[in-house]
């Protein structure tokens, strides 16, 4: 299929010569004045290739191609010049609006080769942009799918309430979390952070999340007994050796017993969550073991702590502590902990939003290089009027 070319030259004899010479190879439109060429481009464009004479009345070819570039930055500009104008033509190439230049006179083969090279460049540019649009559409669809695996922005199970903030560094990310009822007294909560970020990390996170959703991983399918946090992490370490996903991941898993008011937990190399007591005291949940994927076979430690009405469990990923300012200074755990203490009287939703706002102020809104997740699990106070 012939592609269109727009020739602009104030010499009508040259235009007629080009039209006659190249009519079998290209669909040619011509204009004998720069303003006429601009009007034709606006009316019939965009053209893949525009060839313009360098010296014309009222407007030179460089100015004309600069204006055409503003109308469509993908159009390939070619300058037609005499031998005496070679220095100017080289300068034009360096300005970026000109792809090649043709000297007067040029033989047909040279002209055809230059124009086809321009068309190839146009096809490459527009083809890459189309691929980029398709990739972005696919990533948006993937982000929608990943979000469908996350709990509601506020998830309630009995007296437990989970508020969260998730900001992937790309369209999708490698952080995943959920709150899951195990029986009428026990509720499970996990937060994982897959190594890396982007599509591969998101696929790995969804894969692990789907496995946890199946029966037999959080509870024993035969006995209905709840699997302890340390047993679950060891099982995941066996299920996901690093060779399976080419990823390792950290994870915190806890089981809240609302009747006994306890939190039993274990951690696989994850940053220690903060237990914010109703009186403002802070405790760090540090028991656990190595990251999942090493398949070391070493048992994970676990612990059980009181979890009373009014307490908050605050867990997060290293995208928070490792967030960097414009000068590459890290946000660090100390700042995060200080903000938790400062905002402890706020609701959990307000606390998360204010912490993230402060974090972005620290970095002067620098985009995070890693996924950022903060979860706050509340054990709501009993209604004193009941």
Contacts for 290 with CB less than 8 Å, ≥ 6 apart: 268, 269, 296, 298
Structure tokens that stand for 386 in this block: 């009941």
More confident residue, 11 or 216: 11
Structure tokens that stand for 56 in this block: 């014309």
Nearest to 79, CA basis, from 118, 44, 107: 118
Tell me the pLDDT tens digit for each residue of 245-267: 788 999 999 999 999 999 999 99
Fold classified for 149-379: Phosphatase 2c; domain 1 (3.60.40)
Residues 201-211: what's their mean pLDDT?
87
Banded pLDDT at 386 (limits 50, 70, 90): very low
The residues of the chain that CATH labels 3.40.50.2300 are 4-139
Structure tokens that stand for 328 in this block: 């590459």
Q: What does the H/E/C string look like for 21-73?
A: HHCCCCEEEEECCHHHHHHHHHHHCCCCEEEEECCCCCCCHHHHHHHHHHHCC
The residues of the chain that CATH labels 3.60.40.10 are 149-379
Model pLDDT, residue 144: 76
More confident residue, 320 or 18: 320
Tell me the pLDDT tens digit for each residue of 292-306: 998 777 889 999 999
Supply the DSSP string of 190-231, one letter for each residue: EEEEESS-SHHHHHHHHHHHHHHHSTTTSB-TTT-PBPPHHH
Tell me the pLDDT tens digit for each residue of 26-61: 999 999 999 999 999 999 989 999 999 988 989 988
Cα–Cα dist 192/172, whole Å: 14
Tell me the pLDDT tens digit for each residue of 66-113: 999 999 999 999 988 875 456 665 666 666 568 887 887 888 899 999
For the chain, give the percent of residues with pLDDT over 90.
59
Class of domain 4-139: alpha beta
Model pLDDT, residue 135: 76
Cα–Cα dist 222/275, whole Å: 34
Banded pLDDT at 385 (limits 50, 70, 90): very low
Structure tokens that stand for 90 in this block: 């080289």
8 Å CB contact between 287 and 267: yes
Cα–Cα dist 151/181, whole Å: 12
């Amino acid at each position: 299929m012939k592609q269109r070319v727009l020739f602009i030259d104030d010499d009508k004899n040259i235009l007629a010569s080009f039209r006659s010479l190249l009519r079998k190879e290209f669909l040619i439109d011509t204009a004998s004045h720069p303003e006429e060429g601009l009007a034709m481009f606006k009316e019939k464009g965009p053209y893949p290739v525009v060839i313009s004479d360098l010296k014309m009345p009222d407007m030179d070819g460089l100015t004309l191609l600069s204006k055409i570039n503003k109308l469509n930055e993908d159009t390939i500009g070619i300058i037609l010049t005499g031998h005496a104008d070679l220095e100017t033509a080289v300068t034009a190439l360096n300005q970026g609006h000109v792809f090649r230049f043709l000297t007067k006179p040029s033989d047909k083969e040279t002209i055809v080769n230059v124009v086809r090279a321009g068309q190839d460049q146009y096809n490459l540019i527009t083809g890459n942009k189309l691929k980029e649009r398709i990739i972005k559409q696919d990533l948006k669809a993937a982000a929608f799918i990943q979000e469908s695996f996350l709990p509601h922005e506020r998830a309630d199970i009995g007296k437990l309430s989970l508020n969260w903030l998730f900001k992937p560094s790309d369209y999708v990310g490698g952080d995943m979390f959920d709150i899951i009822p195990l029986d009428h007294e026990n509720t499970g909560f996990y937060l994982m952070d897959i190594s890396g970020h982007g599509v591969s990390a998101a696929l790995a996170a969804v894969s692990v999340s789907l496995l946890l959703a199946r029966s037999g991983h959080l509870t024993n399918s035969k006995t209905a007994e709840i699997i302890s946090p340390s047993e679950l992490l060891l099982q995941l370490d066996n299920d996901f050796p690093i060779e399976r996903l080419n990823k390792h991941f950290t994870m915190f898993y806890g089981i809240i017993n609302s009747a006994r008011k306890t939190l039993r937990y274990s951690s696989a190399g994850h940053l220690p969550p903060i237990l914010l007591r109703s009186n403002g005291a802070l405790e760090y949940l540090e028991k656990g073991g190595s990251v999942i994927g090493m398949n070391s076979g070493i048992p994970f430690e676990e612990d059980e702590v009181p979890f009373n009405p009014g307490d908050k469990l605050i867990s997060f990923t290293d995208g928070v502590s490792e967030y960097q300012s414009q000068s590459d200074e890290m946000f660090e755990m100390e700042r995060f902990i200080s903000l938790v203490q400062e905002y402890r009287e706020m609701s959990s939703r307000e606390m998360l939003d204010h912490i993230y706002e402060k974090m972005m102020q620290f970095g002067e809104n620098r985009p995070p290089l890693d996924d950022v997740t903060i979860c706050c699990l509340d054990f709501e106070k009993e209604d004193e009027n009941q």
